[in-house]
A and B are shown apart, each in its own frame.
Chain A
């Protein structure tokens, strides 16, 4: 290979830099020097991944630096509600259902499609958050994750194949299950109803079926039950595939299963917080997030399934993103109706199901 002289290398680097600058100067909005752009996002690995994958491109193009407001989705959403008059975050990461709820509650604002150059590259199935009109979109998706099962192969010898396995008597008091407030709970209610002979329109059997479970721990994320898994007090859990993949990288002996009734798809996204001054900057952030480069980076960091059609994951990474499940293995729900029914369903879970879980 011909050795690259220092001068040639500098010329090439300069050309690449100028090209990148030209692209970003066309797309990026002008902001005041020292502008800080606040991202409301889940803490830990998610914040780190956003900072590492979206941060550099966003900052080099706009000059604005990222700050983070981290926490679980519920408290962050509550904060937005409380700060409605003068919000401190510019964009909000949440499930598609949270984005729809935020738009309805008036704490999030739609983005203009014309300012989202990468929107055409987004998979159709990922565009679940609609805008109020054809020119806007309620928020953009940033990943696909799947809610599936993980179990300890040392302690469970009979293979796990179905959601119905959760009700096996040997798992009473050994199961980590979703809290009644978990984002996937409406899907789990429908699933339980179907397992019990009901349906999405006949949910009573589902609530009764869920009340028969005997979870040892209810939670939102893997860290809620990981210590109990290590001690052997939990042997099987319902969890997002990306977190199970993280556990595997941390040497937890845990096997993942996409149940035969399909895993539950979860499309997480980013929305613009209403009432903030830098709307164009926020739209640029959304556009950067759905771009192919950021999508690949997020998949590498978080084992999230990309929503950009152009992203091709290498084989080993693809196996970890939605743990080998294909889109066809996943079940998608429309977030709009869930927003409407969630309060009543959560109340039924709290007053009808939870007392039975507590009385185990």
Chain B
């Protein structure tokens, strides 16, 4: 390591103009740098405008609607009563907790499964590797509805999976559909490709020289994993966790079809407020609560993983 550079310092030598920077002076290439920043801003502008228009404005509309009185809570003016109502009703509070719980459990189960597959994937070669990637991404291509229909056919107590075992008297008829177990099974299956693909990209980017160096210093596969793969893949683990939690907590189709109408989550509750009771104010309040939960959990995940991520 060169003098003056400590472990953990960010080295920017790869940036073409970095070597030309003179401390305290004006860089001769500041012009191109400024131009590049302008181009970057210009390229960002369409996305920001789209986000502002189609996400920002509707979000403001939803936020405003969430403070409005409604048929269940008639009031004279706007207020926080929809939020207090949702949190104070034991059943709705339970739905809130179930939503977080489903997101966390689905993330905890999917992450190691995805990590193991992402570790294995770079070792595959040729047609096998292609087939593995195709197979893994198929649930994404097929879409969640097709996957759920498959589980709906497979999971009934007298369906093709458990039916023969029940008929032969080996097991009592299990009740999976209409429970959180069914929701979790389908969530894990649907989220797994997202985990694998995100982690695979991260793991593949770890420089091979690091493994060669570890090997030359006598590290075995376990030590390599502990000291090279795991720490360097932590940013990927963090981003994967965020993606998985978001997918799990905001999933609608799985809880709707496999959880049953009696096992609501915040998403299915929002759906019911909009589609069945036409209560936009309560639906908006529930949607904002879901958004807040997402943001809080993401902050929690960042705080959890930050100490493990090497700069």
Contacts and interface: CB of A to CB of B under 8 A. Distances in A.
Interface of A: 72, 74-75, 77-78, 81, 173, 179-181, 215-219, 227-228, 231-233, 342-344, 346-347, 350-351, 354-355, 357-358
Contacts of B94: 355
Nearest to A173: B175
Nearest to B71: A343
B261 A218 contact: yes
B272 interface: yes
Interface in B60-102: 71-72, 89-92, 94
Interface of B: 71-72, 89-92, 94, 152-153, 156-159, 163, 173, 175, 177-178, 260-264, 272, 274-279
A232 B260 CA distance: 17
Contacts of A218: 260-262
Q: Chain B binding site: helix, strand, loop or mixed by DSSP?
A: loop
Contacts of A215: 262
B96 to A, nearest CB: 14
Contacts of B264: 354
Contact of A346 (B152, B157, B277): B277
15 contacts: A78-B275, A180-B261, A181-B276, A215-B262, A217-B177, A231-B156, A232-B158, A233-B173, A343-B71, A350-B272, A354-B91, A354-B264, A355-B94, A357-B262, A358-B263
A217 B178 contact: yes
Contacts of B262: 215, 218, 354-355, 357-358
B272 A181 contact: yes
Nearest to A344: B72
Given A78-B278, A215-B262, A233-B158, 5 more contacts: A173-B175, A228-B177, A232-B157, A344-B72, A351-B91
Contact of B156 (A74, A181, A233, A344): A233
Contacts of A351: 89-92
Contacts of A343: 71-72, 277, 279
In the A-B complex, list the 6 residue pairs whose CB atoms are closest, starting with the nearest: A181-B276, A218-B261, A358-B262, A231-B158, A231-B156, A232-B158
A231 B277 contact: no
Contacts of A219: 261
Contacts of A227: 152-153, 156
B188 to A, nearest CB: 22
Contacts of A358: 260, 262-263
A350 B159 CA distance: 30
Contacts of A357: 262
A351 B277 CA distance: 14
A74 B277 CA distance: 8
Give the one of B178, B261, B263 with max A CB within 10 A: B261
Given A217-B178, A343-B71, A351-B91, A231 B260 contact: no
Nearest to A347: B72
A344 B74 CA distance: 12
A355 B91 contact: yes
A81 B90 CA distance: 30
A78 B275 CA distance: 6
Contacts of B177: 217, 228, 233
A347 B276 CA distance: 11
Contacts of A350: 91, 272
A95 to B, nearest CB: 13
A358 B262 CA distance: 5
Nearest to A228: B156
Contacts of B92: 351
Given A81-B278, A347-B72, A357-B262, A216 B272 contact: no
A283 B272 CA distance: 32
Give the one of A228, A351, A358 with max B CB within 10 A: A358
Contacts of B277: 181, 342-343, 346-347
B93 to A, nearest CB: 11
Contacts of B274: 78
Contact of A74 (B71, B159, B260, B275): B275
B145 to A, nearest CB: 14
Nearest to B280: A81
A218 B262 CA distance: 8
Contacts of A346: 276-277
A218 B259 CA distance: 11
Contacts of B72: 343-344, 347
B10 to A, nearest CB: 49
A77 B94 CA distance: 29
B133 to A, nearest CB: 32
Nearest to A177: B261
A341 to B, nearest CB: 11
